[in-house]
Amino acid sequence: MAALLDSLPAVSDADVERVRAGRRRRSRRRTVALVVLSVLAVALFAAMLMLGNTIYPVSDVLAVLRGEDVSGASFAVGTLRLPRALTAVLAGAAFGVAGSTFQTMLRNPLASPDVIGITSGASAAAVLSIVVLKWSGTATMGLSLAVGILTALVIYLAARGGDSTGGRLILIGIGVGAMLDSVVAYLLLKAAVWDLAVATRWMTGSLNGSRMEDILPLAIAVVVLVPIVLFLARDLGALELGDSWATALGVRVDRTRVLLVVAAVALACVATATTGPIAFVAFLAGPIAARIVGPGSSVVLPAALTGACLVLAADLLGQFAFDTKFPVGVITGILGAPYLIYLLVRTSRRGGSA
């Protein structure tokens, strides 16, 4: 170590101090941003628990969370709102991590699993399993996961030979996604689902009817897979520079990429099988998080928090901001569509990838 440093030209302590100060300034900003995002997520989570047909004060909500029996609140908060809020946080985090991992690895903001059709695959599998075959929750998860990974594999194989920033992969993915979306619509029609809630869930995503017993697979996926992605975040930062740089920096490119893809696809698929493909959360969380924490650092953790905040905020808006209640995916869809158009315009203007 010392020998290596000796071989570099000497620099003044003032210069080192200046460089260190700049780095610390940026890492402070990142810490502040993470704290702000966490506080925001907690506040939105609390609002989800307190707001509804009856507004319960913080004391009642805390009492319910402690397991005490509060008349009225125990049912409304404990049975209806808590599962909904937990599902929102977990699904938001899962979509956020999945999206930002794909976007960073492929160095393209369009490359998130909801744009390139992977969540559409998981959604089609979930509809088949739940609505048509009437399978259980665990079987549904398994099928969604399998179809999601299969979709990713098909897109990857079809796009092989394209450039490394995935322009071709994205276009193929958008096509595959459109096909799978029509599979969802077809299955819903075939199964004669006239229930609007069920239909919107599998087309745009919804938190309606979230139940505590359905959360477990998603919770396990988030608790196991998010730390794995965080563990690989530094290697992901090297992959962001391209395969050549990553190899030069000592990253085992193929192994790291497979691990990251499987973790990200699994997160997106399990979240989709739970809530439906909540539109554009995976797509939006990373870029918004990057704006908040500043460029140059890992976006995985900020994207998890941003995703959770997005889903919580959009669901609160959908439930309370309008005369009609909208499912969460309608609100995130309205937020995400303009950004998608902006990126597509930017892509076509540059004549390449975004």
Comparison of 107 and 168: residue with beta carbon closer to other proteins: 107
To other proteins, the closest distance from the beta carbon of 228 in angstroms equals 12
Comparison of 86 and 289: residue with beta carbon closer to other proteins: 289
Read off the tokens for 312.
């919580």
Question: CA 225, CA 301: separation in Å to the nearest integer?
Answer: 12
| Contact string 284-323 vs other proteins (x = CB under 8 A) | ------x---xxxx--------------------------
DSSP 277: -
**Does 15 help bind other proteins (rule: CB under 8 A)?**
yes
Question: CA 289, CA 305: separation in Å to the nearest integer?
Answer: 8
**Does 339 help bind other proteins (rule: CB under 8 A)?**
no
**Does 3 help bind other proteins (rule: CB under 8 A)?**
yes
**Nearest to residue 223, comparing CAs of 51, 67, 89?**
89
To other proteins, the closest distance from the beta carbon of 222 in angstroms equals 21
Comparison of 86 and 106: residue with beta carbon closer to other proteins: 106
Q: ∠ CA 109-344-34 to the nearest 5 degrees?
A: 30
Site for other proteins, residues 157 to 196, rule: CB under 8 A: 165
Selected from 134, 211, 234, 346, the binder of other proteins by CB under 8 A is: 234
Output helix, strand, coil percentages for the chain, rounded to the nearest 5.
75, 0, 25
Selected from 96, 113, 237, 276, the binder of other proteins by CB under 8 A is: 237
Read off the tokens for 151.
């979709």
**Nearest to residue 152, comparing CAs of 261, 75, 55?**
261
Selected from 38, 74, 208, 247, the binder of other proteins by CB under 8 A is: 247
User: Cβ(86)–Cβ(274) under 8 Å?
Assistant: no
**Does 55 help bind other proteins (rule: CB under 8 A)?**
no
Selected from 132, 133, 220, 241, the binder of other proteins by CB under 8 A is: 241
DSSP 130: I
Read off the tokens for 50.
């307190």
**Does 258 help bind other proteins (rule: CB under 8 A)?**
no
Distance of CA 6 to the CA centre of its chain: 45
Comparison of 212 and 248: residue with beta carbon closer to other proteins: 248
User: Cβ(64)–Cβ(80) under 8 Å?
Assistant: no
Comparison of 45 and 283: residue with beta carbon closer to other proteins: 283
Selected from 40, 52, 240, 335, the binder of other proteins by CB under 8 A is: 240
Can you spell out the DSSP letters for 5-21? HHTSPP--HHHHHHHHH
Site for other proteins, residues 88 to 147, rule: CB under 8 A: 107
Selected from 26, 46, 150, 154, the binder of other proteins by CB under 8 A is: 26
Question: CA 86, CA 63: separation in Å to the nearest integer?
Answer: 17
Q: How many CB atoms lie within 10 A of CB 68?
A: 12
Count residues binding other proteins (CB under 8 A).
Answer: 40
Comparison of 190 and 252: residue with beta carbon closer to other proteins: 252
To other proteins, the closest distance from the beta carbon of 3 in angstroms equals 7
Question: CA 337, CA 314: separation in Å to the nearest integer?
Answer: 14
Interface segment toward other proteins; rule CB under 8 A; list 6-14, 39-47, 144-152, 182-190: 6-14
Helix (H) or strand (E) segment spanning residue 346: helix 328-350
Distances (CA, A) of 262 to 153, 168, 209, 299: 10, 21, 29, 18
Comparison of 67 and 351: residue with beta carbon closer to other proteins: 351
**Does 10 help bind other proteins (rule: CB under 8 A)?**
yes
To other proteins, the closest distance from the beta carbon of 192 in angstroms equals 48
Give the footprint of other proteins on this chain (CB under 8 A).
1, 3-5, 7-11, 15-16, 18-20, 22-23, 26, 107, 165, 231, 234, 237-238, 240-245, 247-252, 290, 294-297
